[in-house]
Structure 1
Amino acid sequence: MYYFIRHYDIFRALLLISATAFNETFLWMIYQLAIYPRLLSPLRHLPEPKSSRFFTGESFNIFITPSMTTTRKWINETPNDGLIRFRTLWGVDSLMVTSPELLGELLISKAYDYTKRPWLAKVLALVLGNGIIFAEGAEHKRQRKHLIPPFAYSRIKELYPLFWKQTCDATAILSSVVQDQKPIQINDWASRLTLDIIGEAGMGQSFQAVSKPTDNELYGAYATVFKQSPKQQARQIVRRLVRDFFSSRLPYFEQWFPLDPNNPAVRSIRLIRRLTREIIASGKASIDPLAAGGGRQQARIDVINAAVGSQAFSEEELVNQMMTFLLAGHESTASALTMACYYFCKHPEVQDKLRAEIRATLPSPSSSSTIDAARIRSQPYLMAVVEEVMRIAPAVPISGRVAVTDTWIGKNQFVPKGTTVILASAAINTSKELWGPDALEFKPERWLNGTIPKSPFANMTFLHGPRSCMGEDFARGVFACVVAAWVGRFEMEFEDPDYKPVFAPATLNIRLEGGMGIKLRPIDGW
């Protein structure tokens, strides 16, 4: 009998505990989903999208569907005064900023009240290292101070001849490939070409991704890292977050469960870092009299040479900065080129007009003539096309910040610490309130007839303030040179006349699922 009573008491205790835990969980759910967001949240008076769900909020729309599509729908269909509130899983409050005035406040005067999202920083730091993108506070200010000179336009303009030469070499190879009129995956060619240009102009190295793609060690590593499907990327993110969660609580977790050394992405990242370290050593040798054998060598004209010469970074910091420049810069510019080709195929009249300007003013890629920055940037329609592509299809359509302190935005809107604030570049750039009723249409002429908004914060392609993209002038120069050469030499059309772009969800850069097949027809006379 004693045995029965003892176990009965234990059973009752466990039942009471489970019932208490259930009740607490149930009450927390009611508070989190119904009471706090409707009665207590300081953001409760702000407008919300109509598509929000009770349990998941807008999580499905943000992470499962392309963020560009979702945020554009919000900004153009949700009446607002500069802020849109949306909720994610379990009713967690978030904000999207929609007005130039509030964007200026968030990016300039209160830039350091917000940081990058910690979970995303942990994941991307695996690939990019702890460089300028993820540095915060005083460390970010220090890194940016010493990285601004290598990316200043006064230095970037000296690289235009290298941009043009690499583009001309690639155009010659592409011309021979498309002679039989077979379609090509233009996204693949754009990726390889931008990698070659960044290698030569950014690091003083010939990667040969265009001429030798199948036996190119570096390009293969890039493909492994960046060509993963969204599902593969999601698994990598979940795996990393789980590892971080347990590692912070179990001291020996990392030793017990190390990263799989045979994982293709892990191997590729290690390979890229090793090659980057070798390139940095080469850059040091080019400016160090002792390392160069007692005599100073001819200084290379590239970005890494300037960063090494500043002597402001350790070797590991230089590796992280160059990883950021290589990976982020290469992929974003390739995305922009792919989208440019999409709009050229969709709007052949733009092709024709741009081709006429280019052929009348610029030398053929097959000639030995070189080009400087002034000559490229003096082509009005070319630069209008470049700006319009970057506006309507920003390479990074959405980025996020987290408030690190209780703060305010606007005249009287309180933002609690921990609130996520998203900067939806693709939405701001196509806001009908800012850009007019034709905001979603591809119209390069808007940059020539003075109809663009006056506020710089109406165009968020490269962001603004201390967190803006320092590679803006580099990216714009590469983009303009490639567009000029390709449109001048080829006539473009879709492989499938009925092609409709399908954008991959939950990706940092704009990415077309399945790529994009197009036909290039070389045009004589230039």
Structure 2
Amino acid sequence: MADLQVTAFAAFLEAVALSGLQGTLEFSAAALLPQFLAYFIAQYALVKLYRLAVFPHFVSPLRNVPGPKDGHILIGQMKNILGEKTPVGRYVKWGNDFPGVPFVRFFDLANKEVLLVNTPEAHKELLQTYCYAFVKPAILFRYVGDITGRGLLFAEGATHKRQRRTLLGLFSVPNLKRILPVFHEKAVELTGLIESQLGEDGKGFIEVVGTYSRATIDAAGLTILGVNLGNLVSTDPKMNFLKYYERVFEPGYVGAFIMALNMVIPGVRKFIPLEANTSHIRATQEIRSMMLGVVRQRIRDMGEGSEMPKLPGASTDLLTLLVEERKKLAQEGSEDVMTEEEINSQMLTFLAAGHETTAAFMSWSLYALATGPAKIQDKLRAEVMGVLAKHPNSSPTWGDIDGMHYLRNFCTEVLRLYCPPTLTYREAVSDMTLCGTFIPKGTNILFVPAVVNRSKAVWGPDADEFNPDRWDNLQGEAASPYAFESFSNGPRFCIGKHFAIMEYKSLLIEAMSKFRFSTSPQLEALGGKMPELQNPGLTLRARGGLQVGVERL
């Protein structure tokens, strides 16, 4: 945009000067227009040629950073990235092609330079040491902002610290313990749903992506909003959350292309009349509107001097806890009081993260069990059944679940190899040097958790293999917390990490206690290869679903 404005202004001045009109205040716009257009087009073409072909290769301070050389002069690496069968495949390849290099440079649309973070040390520098020297760029908001809102995810500096300070208490262990019974309740309902889809012999093939998507949106409704969506027992879900979320998270090929286009061309969604685009816009508007209605109703219900009725020790949803905190801060005269819109944005962020990432985790957990060695499933089930035997008439406690060693290893390995979130961006707010690399102000930095999670330089030659036992003997860089980026690290790490992990474990414990999982015709047809995934995609989600074999124990 700056090039366009500067070139237009220069062309105007040149047209005036060269027309001999510089000494008068009156001149004909019609007479100037042809000259202006000629100067503007010629100069803008030269500027763009410089930006595309000269600057990145011969002038840019980043020109010596290693990276792939097979990009297109106009669209950079976009064709290669979008041509993969997974949204992270090309990035993982580059990471392994340039082992030990802190950053890999590649070109985006119009040969714009992007740095891909490639090592644990580089992650530490960016996420911890210089965390607030980088901000979320506009390109990231155009990618996910209409789904997540402008909550904690996009807050910066003092605003981020204020919001995080307010929200941190929501995810304390005491609060999560109060929510644990809801996780167990939804896990039991889900096993009942799976049971109903099995044949008389107790066997069948279940599409797990859609099944767990319905389960997790229902659990998110209760734990985050305090609303019973009822998606597990009804084909017409309350508030149409599932319907709209499926539309957003399953955009199809055309919708995925529009999503990618909207990242690099601001505002382009407004001008695309295709159904894939208009239905996405309607869905996100409906979601925001319904969420705001829930927030406003809760604030009214918990007005001055009143609070939501609850029994001692009963579970409490995050929205209620946040509104309670809002009341407390207001009474204290604090400047940290969140507005209705801010609360709505937080709930949108929590719902998107709590729903889709959990569904993805469970889908890939069952995929790993179905396609992996039987000993993994047997070992995990033995640990689960051993703990459940201690509670024949109740669900496992927080301490029971937290103490299950192999379950922890299994869940962490799923998150390493099949990390649900695909990517996030940062932008440098000033010139700086990290890991020996000079990074100019305005440089886009790309974080793809899968790059370090599946780096052969970090995890060894078996980095692409599913092995829960690796977590008992971490060596070298793999022992660094920055070698595992599924929840990010530093001051901006995922605030709902422990919430998500406890939900994962609750769902998995119930599933393992009721069923055995095996391969399916769909998986067998793949011959051991990964199924095709949505690309681009907000999460690691199988395109068209993921089917596994299920057998009642």
Sort the TM-score into its range (normalised by shorter chain): 0.7 to 0.9
- Which residue number corresponds to residue 443 of structure 2? 419
> Counterpart of 1:356 in structure 2: which amino acid?
A
TM-score of the superposition, structure 1-length normalised?
0.86
Displacement of 1:479: 0.7
Q: Which moved more, 1:295-304 or 1:180-189?
A: 295-304
Change (3 A) 1:117 1:240: closer
Identity %: 29
- Which residue number corresponds to residue 430 of structure 1? 454
- Which residue number corresponds to residue 59 of structure 2? 40
Query: Please, which runs of 5 or more residues in structure 2 have no aligned partner?
Result: 1-29, 327-336
Displacement of 1:108: 1.7
- Which residue number corresponds to residue 383 of structure 1? 408
Q: Matches of 1:93 and 1:357 in 2, distance apart?
A: 49
Displacement of 1:112: 2.0
Contact 1:158 1:373 (8 Å CA) reproduced:
no
- Which residue number corresponds to residue 9 of structure 2? none
> Counterpart of 1:395 in structure 2: which amino acid?
P
- Which residue number corresponds to residue 364 of structure 2? 339
- Deviation string 1:128-153 (CA, Å, 9 cap, x unpaired) is 22211112222122111111110233
Change (3 A) 1:292 1:302: closer
1:27 pairs, out of 18, 25, 46, with: 46
Q: Matches of 1:440 and 1:259 in 2, distance apart?
A: 39
1:355 pairs, out of 381, 401, 405, with: 381
Contact 2:117 2:445 (8 Å CA) reproduced:
yes
Change (3 A) 1:371 1:40: same
Q: Matches of 1:410 and 1:240 in 2, distance apart?
A: 28
Change (3 A) 1:352 1:296: closer
Displacement of 1:512: 0.8
Q: Matches of 1:277 and 1:16 in 2, distance apart?
A: 53
- Which residue number corresponds to residue 187 of structure 1? 209
Q: CA RMSD in A?
A: 3.3
> Counterpart of 2:359 in structure 1: which amino acid?
A
> Counterpart of 1:219 in structure 2: which amino acid?
L
Displacement of 1:392: 0.7
1:478 pairs, out of 503, 508, 512, with: 503
Contact 2:260 2:536 (8 Å CA) reproduced:
no
- Which residue number corresponds to residue 229 of structure 1? 252
User: Which aligned runs of 4 or more in structure 1 are off by greater than 6 angstroms?
Assistant: 11-19, 239-243, 257-260, 295-299
Change (3 A) 1:12 1:259: closer
- Which residue number corresponds to residue 20 of structure 2? none
Matched, 1:307 2:322: yes
Contact 2:179 2:315 (8 Å CA) reproduced:
no
TM-score of the superposition, structure 2-length normalised?
0.82
- Deviation string 1:323-347 (CA, Å, 9 cap, x unpaired) is 1111222111111111111111111
Q: Matches of 1:258 and 1:307 in 2, distance apart?
A: 39
Contact 1:47 1:79 (8 Å CA) reproduced:
no
> Counterpart of 1:474 in structure 2: which amino acid?
F
Equivalent residue of 2:267, what SS? helix
| Pairing of 1:400-419 with structure 2 (within 5 A) | 400-411=425-436, 413-419=437-443
Contact 1:160 1:371 (8 Å CA) reproduced:
no
> Counterpart of 1:198 in structure 2: which amino acid?
A
Equivalent residue of 2:469, what SS? helix
2:344 pairs, out of 305, 311, 319, with: 319
Q: Which moved more, 1:422-431 or 1:230-239?
A: 230-239
> Counterpart of 1:407 in structure 2: which amino acid?
M
Equivalent residue of 1:518, what SS? strand
Change (3 A) 1:258 1:317: farther
Displacement of 1:96: 1.2
Displacement of 1:246: 11
Q: Matches of 2:430 and 2:345 in 1, distance apart?
A: 28
Q: Matches of 1:219 and 1:13 in 2, distance apart?
A: 57
Contact 2:222 2:317 (8 Å CA) reproduced:
yes
Contact 2:87 2:533 (8 Å CA) reproduced:
no
Change (3 A) 1:34 1:446: same
- Which residue number corresponds to residue 422 of structure 2? 397
- Which residue number corresponds to residue 136 of structure 2? 116
Q: Matches of 1:397 and 1:258 in 2, distance apart?
A: 28
Matched, 1:443 2:443: no
Q: Matches of 2:483 and 2:187 in 1, distance apart?
A: 31
Displacement of 1:289: 6.4
Contact 2:452 2:484 (8 Å CA) reproduced:
yes
> Counterpart of 1:493 in structure 2: which amino acid?
S
> Counterpart of 2:284 in structure 1: which amino acid?
I
Equivalent residue of 2:247, what SS? helix
Query: Please, which runs of 5 or more residues in structure 1 have no aligned partner?
Result: 1-10, 248-252
Change (3 A) 1:89 1:235: closer
Change (3 A) 1:245 1:446: closer
Q: Matches of 1:190 and 1:414 in 2, distance apart?
A: 44
Change (3 A) 1:237 1:455: closer
Change (3 A) 1:363 1:200: farther
- Which residue number corresponds to residue 223 of structure 2? 201
2:146 pairs, out of 114, 126, 148, with: 126
Q: Matches of 1:296 and 1:390 in 2, distance apart?
A: 35
> Counterpart of 1:126 in structure 2: which amino acid?
D
Contact 2:456 2:463 (8 Å CA) reproduced:
yes
2:287 pairs, out of 266, 269, 272, with: 272
> Counterpart of 1:229 in structure 2: which amino acid?
G
Contact 2:230 2:237 (8 Å CA) reproduced:
no
Displacement of 1:480: 1.0
Displacement of 1:83: 1.5
Displacement of 1:288: 4.6
Equivalent residue of 1:133, what SS? helix
Displacement of 1:285: 6.0
Displacement of 1:58: 1.7
Displacement of 1:240: 9.0
> Counterpart of 2:423 in structure 1: which amino acid?
I
- Which residue number corresponds to residue 542 of structure 2? 512
- Which residue number corresponds to residue 71 of structure 1? 91
Equivalent residue of 1:179, what SS? coil
Q: Matches of 1:357 and 1:239 in 2, distance apart?
A: 47
Matched, 1:218 2:236: no
- Deviation string 1:260-296 (CA, Å, 9 cap, x unpaired) is 9x94434433433344334334544665564459x99
Contact 2:229 2:237 (8 Å CA) reproduced:
no
Q: Matches of 1:267 and 1:380 in 2, distance apart?
A: 45
Q: Which moved more, 1:145-154 or 1:331-340?
A: 145-154
Contact 1:285 1:291 (8 Å CA) reproduced:
no
- Deviation string 1:54-109 (CA, Å, 9 cap, x unpaired) is 44332222344333111111111124431211122332211112122221111122
- Which residue number corresponds to residue 196 of structure 2? 176
Q: Matches of 2:109 and 2:266 in 1, distance apart?
A: 21
Q: Matches of 2:306 and 2:404 in 1, distance apart?
A: 43
Contact 2:182 2:222 (8 Å CA) reproduced:
yes
Change (3 A) 1:296 1:218: closer
Displacement of 1:451: 4.4
Q: Matches of 2:171 and 2:65 in 1, distance apart?
A: 40
1:503 pairs, out of 527, 533, 536, with: 533
- Which residue number corresponds to residue 8 of structure 1? none
Contact 1:47 1:80 (8 Å CA) reproduced:
no
- Which residue number corresponds to residue 3 of structure 1? none
> Counterpart of 1:355 in structure 2: which amino acid?
R
Contact 1:213 1:219 (8 Å CA) reproduced:
no
2:79 pairs, out of 45, 51, 60, with: 60
Contact 1:196 1:208 (8 Å CA) reproduced:
yes
> Counterpart of 2:321 in structure 1: which amino acid?
A
Q: Matches of 1:96 and 1:237 in 2, distance apart?
A: 18
